[in-house]
Chains A and B, each alone.
Chain A
């Protein structure tokens, strides 16, 4: 999620675990909700809590100890994984997974602690909250823990994941998901349609947070009059829909001695089939052969439309010496040319290029990543984790 120029959003490489959500990409964050909901607001995923009568409760909430409630000002759509003692925020756009909070006028996905959200329209995954009013006649999924007074919900369709809440919350006409734990102030929700993860919060405006529009991004294209050179500063290029579908794409290993740096590729099809191709092998639209003394990979673009992604790597088989140099040449049917300079390879497989089929347009990206270990390690580093291996360098070929 760095600059827009390097197309890092399409890279499926294994990255270290996400540490907090500091970027303002709330529209992406919504899809991570199930993952991020777990560490929210002291929620200990208590699924063993006795269910209240008439409910099908899944208790994701924590213990019913109401932590101090830092008030969060309204308009917040932020993802906040902070502890309960977070300072009040106002006007932010983060997802709040914090402890007790009172976000009035909040339109966010709030996983905060105890809150009193009357008229709330958000997903309530809150920790110990105030005794919610009795929901009556609702169709909500009540996942709450042991709630002393049985919940009587009315007209709501909310999903209540609250923990032991002394007095149940009265819900009317809402379709909210309440994951709140037990808390002092009663939460009254009605008329909402959103997912409230907040704890006891002040009244919030029922306006759902709209995903911000993605910024206009013009991908780099090939130049008809000059080769496109990919490197660290300009690592990627996107082929047009015609370049991505007509003829074949050829990748030529322009270096010598040829044997010192063996070409290979790992691929994954839309079907999920994934494997590795070595010199001389063929699978589906991919052919590895030799031409004019160079190793070459050809991708048939008519039959390769079901290719999802590909990496091309080199395996050093002999010490190349200090003066070695080479280039990976990519050419389209229309003779558009892309060049990827290759540095003298250090020991270990080096991923030279990645290819992604983004809805019919092929994106090429120079990688130059040397992975310590063997071929399998290089594939795993780029997320090719569905390959069956015979040994650390040899994959079992898929059935065609």
Chain B
């Protein structure tokens, strides 16, 4: 799927109860980059902001308070990171679930996402692990970005849709957090 494209998941699969959002990326031998990439999910309200800072799901906060979105410590399959979303358990106030990634600026060596060779987000059915959607390679469009919104699940007329985003953020997680109203 190209960036910007969307699909109505619950129309294609009416009994869809949950999905797994898998992220794959590689940078060849640039382990300094891939070792410092963090994948996160942000649960947003209707106004586009995160519900709270507890709704930023990543390695140090492995689930949202309602347990509807959970990041796996150990992935199942070949993804680098996987986030499970129970669509039936998501609170009504959560209208968007955005999957983002950023380069953690914890080491002295700074690498940008432009060194990525591949970067793909895919959607799996939580029941059975069948791949439903695979995005195009988002890496070629990246240059100096330190953060990237990969895709989003969002409510639409009683169901859930998925959209490939591919929006880069030059300022990394700081800009991502500001964009979604999260205080770091």
Contacts and interface: CB of A to CB of B under 8 A. Distances in A.
Contact of B183 (A224, A298, A300, A301): A224
B105 A248 contact: yes
A305 B61 CA distance: 12
B109 to A, nearest CB: 11
B53 A240 contact: yes
Nearest to B108: A287
Nearest to B37: A302
Interface string B163-184: 0000000000110010000111
Nearest to A241: B61
A210 to B, nearest CB: 27
B112 interface: no
B106 A334 contact: no
Interface string B76-120: 000000000000000000000000000011111000000000000
Contacts of B61: 241-242, 245, 360
A243 B184 contact: yes
Interface in A222-252: 224, 240-248
A240 B36 CA distance: 20
A304 B104 CA distance: 12
A305 B38 CA distance: 13
Contacts of B56: 242
Contacts of B107: 248, 287, 300, 303
Interface string B1-37: 0000000000000000000000000000000000110
B183 A245 contact: no
Contacts of A243: 184
A245 B104 CA distance: 9
A299 B108 CA distance: 11
Contact of B38 (A248, A302, A332): A302
Contacts of B177: 242, 334
Interface residues of A, number: 27
B184 A333 contact: yes
B174 A333 contact: yes
Interface string A339-366: 0000000000000000000001000000
Contacts of A304: 106
B174 A245 contact: no
Contacts of A332: 184
Residue among A224, A246, A333 facing the most chain B CB atoms (10 A cut-off): A246
Contacts of A302: 36, 38, 59, 104, 106
A247 B173 contact: yes
B58 interface: yes
B60 interface: yes
A287 B174 CA distance: 22
Contacts of B53: 240-242
A83 interface: no
Interface in A243-268: 243-248
Nearest to A301: B106
Nearest to A224: B183
A285 interface: yes
Interface in B136-184: 173-174, 177, 182-184
14 contacts: A242-B183, A245-B58, A245-B60, A245-B61, A246-B38, A246-B104, A248-B106, A300-B106, A301-B106, A302-B104, A302-B106, A332-B184, A334-B184, A360-B60
Nearest 9 CB-CB pairings of A with B? A334-B184, A245-B60, A300-B106, A248-B106, A302-B104, A241-B61, A360-B60, A302-B106, A247-B105
Given A245-B60, A305-B60, 9 more contacts: A224-B183, A241-B53, A242-B56, A242-B61, A242-B182, A248-B106, A300-B106, A302-B36, A302-B106
